[in-house]
Amino acid sequence: MRLPDQVTGLFLVGLGAAAAYGGWLLPPVPGQPVGPNIFPLVIGSGLALCGLAIALGIGRTFEEEEEIVPIETGQARPPTGKLYGLRALLPPALLLFYVAAADRLGFIITAALIVYVTSSALGARWKLSLPLAVMAPIVIHLIFSKLLRVPLPAGLLPMPW
Amino acid sequence: MLNTLIEAFALISTWEVIIAMLAASVYGLVIGSLPGLSATMATALLVPVTFYLSPIAAIATIVAASTMAIFSGDIPGALLRIPGTPASAAYADEAYAMTRKGEAELALGAGVWFSAVGGIAGTLSLMILAPPLAEIALSFSTFEYFWLAFLGLMCATLVARSSPVKAIAGMFIGLLVACVGIENPGGVPRFTFGMTDLFGGIEPIPALVGVFAVAQVMRAMLTPEPPPIPKRKFGSIMAGQWRLTKKYRWQMTRGNIIGIIIGVLPGAGADMAAWVSYAMSKRFSKEPEKFGTGHVEGLVEAGASNNASIASGWVPSLLFGIPGDTIAAIAIGVLYMKGLNPGPTLFTEKASSMYAIYLMFIIANIIMIPLGIVMIRLASYVLRAPRSSVMPFIMLCCAVGSFAIGNNMFGVVTVAAFGIIGYVMEANGYPVAAMVLGIVMGTMIEQSFVTSLIKSDGSVLPFFERPISAILAALAIGALIWPVLVWGWRRLKAISPAAAPR
């Protein structure tokens, strides 16, 4: 997801200006010239300036092209469609799903779903991803809940230990 | 001195520390050797576990895992030409060329041996440099701390392999993230938008896990799977290493020194050390034409360099709370959590803990040799694990680990959000390491800045009046306007030759 520098630069100008304005609104420490307002003001202005410079293309000459190790020949290139790029959003979406569902469904079921989807999305057949979805949550549950005593939600399927 | 040393030995010779170290070593070796899972990510995912350990055991796991992961990144570099960690990227081509020449044992052996030597050299630098610097640092006021932190952030932007303007922007974003919450000079809710979850601020650790782990899983979704490793039998791995050590002792020493210097610089870590050392080795070599064809010299120097930077990266972390690299940034978080707040007084008040850290570094680098050899022999099995079976575990660790830090779900939301932020930043050439440093150092830099301003009654002049503070200020401001000057210079040069012929 490579955006033009103008877009990211202008976004940063907006973010910086908003931060500076937000800082400006905060009250200073009573009896002092400065307080919680000054730092966001400085940071925000700096960020806005940087954003402007980026939008104008300053410093682009320093950018080194990333050294990509070429793929060995004989490998299929990844398909590139419009929706293909959206696959990248899958991991954060699954984490949000965990937040929403873990308390009701319990850790084991939620985790199993996450494992199944992640591994299938990375190209695993069901012969691999199904056993993985059963095993991985139990292993993680053992480590974190039993060994480290993290209170993981039991939900519909509490573990016997 | 001797008493403290004995105390330090007592601190680390408990079962908890020994088991934690061994387990973290194995973990670091495995994660480091898997392509796409970096040493920083290994360390970040370890933090939730350290919550439940004693302070020394917690630091032991960080030390062991990061040391091992930096070495084992060499393994897939040599066997597959895919660096396991960014720190091995500089010489992956060279190591792979050696494997193709049938010298895989020599390349991997050099990896493990010179990594261990480098790690020990880095530890020695930590032992020698830190105490005298602590003496000087004791007389620092908030003015010096402010400039030091500022300079640290600037260094991080200068060494980034990207546009310095984007790096500075990344740093500002990190500082802005650190602004959130009520932990500010006035104690008022700032940028919390009425959400109580944000009152405590954004914890650095979930942010780090998001940026380094979730973003990596996101990238994996779009990149093809690396090819499986061919099965092979290895001969003796350590054979010939002593001969190499004698032959290339200058290259090794130079690598150690470069690694130490780069490690101490804030923000520049093992990957930078390896790039610089490899380039340096080629530049000063008597036989530069052999580089790239499977020549061991560059491997020696860069391998000695990247591991040296790991230990020396702890120098500014322990002294000032300014991380030497991203791994040290995580370590600082753990230090705060465990009541070992970074600062010069750490070396006088908690001297035995400091000695324990030195000892753990040395032990980690020594046990790396046998464990590393075992890992190399097992590599063909470990590296056969397909990505689709490793990444789900990473996902679960992200979810559970970030939940465990505060026992609330907001941590998981933070991880997801920073995954997206990290992914977008990386894709557009904004170095995430600069943002991470901003997040980690934000509170400290604000505190020293505002306290200084209150002391000076709102005037900026006292920032430049104390001698050390003036020197630091000059360096920091120089670093800030350097990219602008170079840009202007290039513009001038570009215009004048074009205008001249007319």
Name which of A72, A69, A139, A74 is nearest A108 in CA terms: A139
How far apart are the C-alpha atoms of B243 and B106, rounded to whole Å?
A: 11
Tokens of B476: 């920091």
Q: Do B484 and A152 touch (CB under 8 A)?
A: no
ipTM: 0.87
Q: What is the DSSP letter of B181?
A: B
Residue range B394-412: average pLDDT? 86
CB pairs under 8 A between A and B: 245
CA B266 – CA B262 distance, rounded (Å):
8
CA angle B339, B340, B344 (to 5 degrees): 140
Alpha-carbon distance A54 to A56, whole Å? 5
Structure tokens at B56: 């020394």
The pLDDT confidence band at residue B497, using thresholds 50, 70 and 90, is low
Q: Quick one: closest CA in A to B183, which residue?
A: A36
Q: Do B392 and A118 touch (CB under 8 A)?
A: yes
User: Alpha helix locations (H) across A31-76?
Assistant: 38-55
Residues 6+ apart with CB under 8 A from B375: B29, B30, B33, B72, B75, B382
Q: Cα separation of B330 and B66, whole Å?
A: 11
Nearest CA in chain B to A39: B446
DSSP-derived secondary structure letter, B475: H
Q: What's the whole-number mean pLDDT along residues B403-416?
A: 87
Tell me the C-alpha distance between B248 and B306, whole Å. Answer: 17
Residue A85, SS3? helix
What is the 8-class DSSP label of residue A103? H
- Which residue spans within B268-376 are E strands per DSSP? none
Contact A124 B389 (CB under 8 A): yes
Task: State mean pLDDT over B306-323.
Answer: 88
Residue with the bigger pLDDT between A157 and B102: it is: B102
Structure-token pair, residue B425: 């930043």
> For the residues B24-35, what does the mean pLDDT come to?
89
Task: Let me know if A155 is exposed, middle or buried by CB neighbors in 10 A (0-12, 13-18, 19+).
Answer: middle
Q: Are B44 and B213 in contact, with CB atoms under 8 Å apart?
A: yes
CB contact (8 A) between residue A76 and residue B52: no
pLDDT on residue B3:
84
Q: Which residues pair with B190 in a beta bridge?
A: B181
8 Å CB contact of B225 and A60: no
Q: Are A145 and A155 in contact (CB under 8 A)?
A: no
Q: Which residue has the tokens 């513009």?
A: B491
pTM: 0.83
Residue B112 · residue B68 · CB < 8 Å: no
CA B155 to chain centroid: 14
Contacts of B61 (CB under 8 A, 6+ apart): B20, B21, B23, B24, B46, B49, B50, B53
Residue B366's pLDDT is what? 93
Is residue B487 pLDDT above 80, yes or no? no
pLDDT at B162 over 80: no
Q: Which two tokens stand for residue B437?
A: 């440093």
Question: Which tens digit of pLDDT belongs to each residue from B241-271?
Answer: 888 888 888 889 999 999 998 888 876 778 8
Contact check, Cβ <8 Å, B428/A122: no
Look-up of token digits 């939620």: A110
B16 contacts on A by Cβ (under 8 Å):
none
Tell me the nearest-neighbour CA distance from A155 into chain B, angstroms.
15
Max Cα distance, chain B (Å): 80
Q: What three-state secondary structure class fits B332?
A: helix
Flag the least confident range among A96-100, B12-16, B155-159, B204-208.
B155-159
**A24, A148, A149, A159: best to mutate for the B interface, most B CBs within 10 A:** A148
Cβ distance B407 to A151 less than 8 Å, yes or no, reads yes
Q: What is the mean pLDDT of residues B44-56?
A: 87
Between B191 and B494, residue with greater pLDDT: B191
pLDDT of residue A59: 66
- 3-class DSSP assignment, residue B313: coil
| Cβ-nearest to B191 among A8, A22, A114 | A22
Q: Which residues contact B464 (CB under 8 A, 6 or more apart)?
A: B470, B473
- Interchain CB distance below 8 Å, A63 and B396: no
Q: B328-380, pLDDT tens digit by residue?
A: 888 888 888 888 888 888 888 888 888 899 999 999 999 999 999 999 888 87
DSSP state, residue B291: T
Answer whether B395's CB lies under 8 Å from B99's CB: no
Point out the residue among A33, A50, A103 whose CB comes nearest to the CB of B458: A33
Confidence of residue B387 (pLDDT cuts 50, 70, 90): confident
A34/B409 touch (CB, cutoff 8 Å), yes or no: no
Is the pLDDT at A68 greater than 60? The verdict is no
B26 vs B229: which has the higher pLDDT? B26
User: What's residue A79's pLDDT?
Assistant: 55
B83–A16 CB contact, under 8 Å: no
Pair of tokens at residue B287: 């036989």
Q: At what angle do helices A90-105 and B410-427 cross, to 10 degrees?
A: 170
Q: Are A61 and B487 a contacting pair at CB < 8 A?
A: yes
Residue among B165, B392, B423 whose CB faces A53 most closely: B165
Q: Which residue has the higher pLDDT, A158 or B192?
A: B192
Please determine, for residue B419, whether its predicted confidence score (pLDDT) is greater than 90: yes
Q: Could you say which of A16, A34, A119 has the minimum Cβ distance to residue B453?
A: A34
Q: Is B391–A118 a contact, with Cβ atoms under 8 angstroms apart?
A: yes
Q: How far is CA B354 from CA A138, B11, B132, B138, B315, in A?
A: 38, 11, 14, 17, 11
Q: To the nearest whole percent, how much of chain B has pLDDT over 90?
A: 18
Quick check: B83 and B71 in contact, CB under 8 A? no
Mean pLDDT taken over chain B: 85
Residue B232 confidence (pLDDT): 72
Higher pLDDT, B255 or B490: B255
Highest mean pLDDT among A41-45, B77-81, B322-326, B447-451: A41-45
In this structure, chain B runs to a length of 502
Name, of A61-70, B365-374, B442-451, the range with top average pLDDT: B365-374
Structure tokens at B188: 């008022």
* Residue closest to A36 by CA, chosen among B131, B179, B42, B440: B179
User: Using the 8-state DSSP alphabet, how is residue B248 labeled?
Assistant: T
Q: Which residues of B touch A69 (CB under 8 A)?
A: 81-83, 89, 92
CA distance B247 to chain A (A): 31
Residue A75: the pLDDT is 44
DSSP A128: H
Q: How confident is the model at residue B35 (pLDDT cuts 50, 70, 90)?
A: confident
Per the CB < 8 A criterion, the answer to whether B169 and B176 are in contact is no
C-alpha B473 chain-centroid distance = 25
pLDDT band of residue B500 (cuts 50, 70, 90) is: very low
Q: Which residues contact B199 (CB under 8 A, 6 or more apart)?
A: B181, B182, B189, B192
- Each residue's pLDDT tens digit, B78-124: 888 878 787 888 888 888 888 888 888 888 888 899 999 999 999 99
Mutate to test the interface with A, among B52, B389, B391 (most CBs of A within 10 A): B389
* pLDDT tens digits, B224-238: 877 776 777 777 777
Find the range with the poorest average confidence among A66-80, B166-180, B278-292, B392-406.
Answer: A66-80
Question: Cβ of B410: how many Cβ atoms within 10 Å?
Answer: 19
Distance from CA of A160 to the nearest CA of B (A): 19
Average pLDDT, integer, range B429-455: 86
**Cβ–Cβ gap B191/A58 under 8 Å:** no
Residue A160: φ, ψ to 5° = -70, -15
Q: How far is A56 from chain B, CA to nearest CA, in Å?
A: 11
List the single residue in B221, B225, B420 with the smallest CB-CB distance to A87.
B221
Rounded to whole angstroms, the Cα distance separating B316 from A78 reads 43
